[in-house]
Amino acid sequence: MRKIRYPNGKQMPDTPASSYVPERMKANEFLAMMQAKQQGAANRGMTLEEEVNESNQYYVAQEIAAVHKKPTPLQIVKVDYPSRSAAVIREAYFRQPSTTDYNGVYRGRYIDFEAKETRNQTSLPLKNFHEHQINHMRLVHKQDGIAFAIIRFTMQAETYVLDASHVIRFWDDAHQADGRKSIPYAYIAKNGHRIQESYRPRLDYLSVIDRCYFS
Amino acid sequence: MRKIRYPNGKQMPDTPASSYVPERMKANEFLAMMQAKQQGAANRGMTLEEEVNESNQYYVAQEIAAVHKKPTPLQIVKVDYPSRSAAVIREAYFRQPSTTDYNGVYRGRYIDFEAKETRNQTSLPLKNFHEHQINHMRLVHKQDGIAFAIIRFTMQAETYVLDASHVIRFWDDAHQADGRKSIPYAYIAKNGHRIQESYRPRLDYLSVIDRCYFS
């Protein structure tokens, strides 16, 4: 098996602003990224999504798991064909995904998750999820897959794996008249499983999955 | 395990031609679709991809499986924000996917496949696959997932499930000096498992998966 080489002390390779191309992001993520760039990207840490993607690349390269982020679904309206190999999309719109962002296979099991980070210190607002994702997680559970959320509280610098059953329960409660519209930090800290920072991959979430679902 | 219920008598919902928007397609598929539209979409049959997508919608609606086509990965270069809710992508390019097109969970197992159709009557050219997809299928097998191809010979109107191990073997042979560059029809008819046409869903590939991988 090929060894992965990690650059020492270096951030993920930086792409010069002029050629940086967001490949898989939603409108709001794109906006956030553009704002971050204006504030000086060199100064910011990696986002949760970047860390998850880096971990997945590591897992794939090491043949530990096959987990990928799904591309953002777009509604393509107009395409120019200056030549077939260089089709240019000239008009397209972001669409709401019908599933969670990440899925794949690990140790014979289907795994499926959504990664969310919040600067809110007391709770994760449920508006971070949408109904299609919740229903998708229900179906994954019904089909005996592993479904969870990776939740980061940015200010506390703490990241948790929380089984989808909790997310679904809070969602259902929120959609009754008096349900709360967020999952409290204290609840997640108690019922979730913290992902400790590690070196490679930086966000070794599968070590938590091992503990929670395979032991 | 829950019994599968099939709805009575109704077709899958039809989308009116005027509102049909290609959401997830590659440049060549997009071209083919545009040509088909010009020739009068009403007169053509469904493509394999359309049938697979229709089947997946059916499986999800019936809670039989959670299988989805991954959106086509695009490299977004330029986005206009006339207002936040209506971001318009003004320049983007098709990217090569790093995985197969379809994956999901069924009866506790991870399933992963690619759907290919050819008008060639004697073989499926291997150029229908690319190396990332082959390596992805290797890794899925290594992680004990179910990986296969759904292959349609359009002229014969025959559709088969062929385990990925066969595709991988032909691919590896082809990449030695004297390997053949295609999988013969006769080989697929012998080693694959034919999907019989059914009513709902029209392409009930999971009934073949039941036979091949669950019995």
The pLDDT tens digits for B130-145 are 999 999 999 999 999 9
Provide the number of structural domains found in chain A. 1
pLDDT at B31 > cutoff 70: no
Sign of CA dihedral B176, B177, B178, B181: positive
What number is the average pLDDT over the span B82-109? 90
Please tell me the predicted confidence (pLDDT) of residue B36: 55
Q: For residue B5, is it within any domain?
A: no
Instruction: Mean pLDDT check: name the lowest of A47-61, A174-188, B139-153.
Output: A174-188
- CB-based contact B66 A109, cutoff 8 Å: no
Inter-chain residue contact A70 with B71, CB threshold 8 Å:
yes
Disruptive mutation site among A33, A102, A143, A213 for chain B (greatest number of B CBs within 10 Å): A143
Phi, psi of B6 (to 5 degrees): -110, 135
pLDDT-derived band at A152 (thresholds 50, 70, 90) equals very high
**CA–CA dist B143, B148 (Å, integer):** 14
* Amino acid (one-letter) located at A113: F
Please give the pLDDT value at position B45. 77
The SS3 call for residue B92 is strand
**Comparing A110 with B15, which gets the higher pLDDT?**
A110
pLDDT-derived band of residue B120, with 50, 70 and 90 as boundaries?
A: very high
Of B36, B2, B4, the closest CA to residue B20 belongs to B36
Is A30 in Cβ contact with B77 (below 8 Å)? no
- At A52-106, the pLDDT tens digits run 999 999 999 999 999 999 999 999 999 998 865 679 999 999 998 999 999 999 9
CA separation for the pair B112, B196 (Å, rounded): 20
More confident residue, B7 or B82: B82
The residue-averaged pLDDT of B96-100 equals 93
Q: What pLDDT, on a 0 to 100 scale, did the predictor assign at position A34? A: 56
- Is B122 contained in some domain? yes
Local structure of residue B39 (DSSP, 8 states): T
Average pLDDT value over all residues in chain B: 84
Angstrom distance (rounded) from CA A168 to CA B13: 28
Question: Which residues on A lie below 8 Å from B63 (Cβ)?
Answer: 139, 142
Do B194 and B153 meet the contact criterion of CB atoms below 8 Å apart? no
Instruction: Considering only residues A1 and A60, tell me which one the structure prediction assigns the higher pLDDT.
Output: A60
Given this model, what pLDDT does residue A134 score? 97
Nearest CA in chain B to A94: B87
Residue B182 lies in a domain: yes
Give a yes or no: residue B51 inside a domain: yes
pLDDT recorded at residue B215: 87
Q: Which residues of B are annotated as a binding site for Mg(2+)?
A: 99, 101, 114, 133
**Least confident residue range of A14-18, B56-60, B154-158, B191-195:** A14-18
pLDDT score recorded for residue B24: 42
Q: Which residues of A touch B25 (CB under 8 A)?
A: 76
Give the mutation candidate from B21, B69, B105 for the A interface (greatest A CB count, under 10 A).
B105
User: CATH number, domain at B203?
Assistant: 3.40.1350.10
B75 secondary structure, DSSP code: E
User: Residue B196 sits in which domain range?
Assistant: 43-71+97-213
Q: Is a pLDDT exceeding 70 seen at residue B96?
A: yes
Contact residues, chain A, for B139 at CB < 8 Å: 60, 63, 66
Judged by DSSP in three states, B110 sits in strand
Give the minimum alpha-carbon distance from B186 to chain A in angstroms, rounded to a whole number.
Answer: 32
Cross-chain Cβ contact B66/A30 below 8 Å = no
pLDDT at position A202, please? Answer: 93
Q: Is residue A105 part of a domain?
A: yes
Q: What average pLDDT is seen over chain A?
A: 84
Task: State the burial class of residue A178 (Cβ atoms within 10 Å of its Cβ: 0-12, 13-18, 19+).
Answer: exposed
The stretch A100-127 carries a mean pLDDT of 97
Chain B partners within 8 Å of A65 (Cβ): 143
Mutation target for B interface from A110, A111, A112, A148: give the one with most B CBs within 10 A.
Answer: A110
Residue at B184 is within a domain: yes
Strand B102-106 vs strand B146-153: parallel, antiparallel, or unpaired? unpaired
For residues A143-163, average pLDDT: 97
Whether A143 maps to a domain, the answer reads: yes
* Beta-carbon separation of B143 and A75 below 8 A: no
Note whether residue B18 is domain-resident: no
Give B129 to chain A, closest Cα distance, Å.
17
Task: Supply the pLDDT for residue B65.
Answer: 98
DSSP string, chain A: -PPP---SSPPSPPPPTTT----S--HHHHHHHHHHHHTTGGGS---HHHHHHHHHHHHHHTTS-EEEEPPPPEEEEEEE-SSGGG-EEEEEEE---SS-SEEEEETTEEEEEEEEEES-SSEEEGGGS-HHHHHHHHHHHHTT-EEEEEEEETTTTEEEEEEHHHHHHHHHHHTSTT--SEEEHHHHHHHSEE--B-SSSSB-HHHHHHHHH--
Across chain A, which distance is largest between two alpha carbons, in Å? 57
Question: And the tokens for A8?
Answer: 């020492």
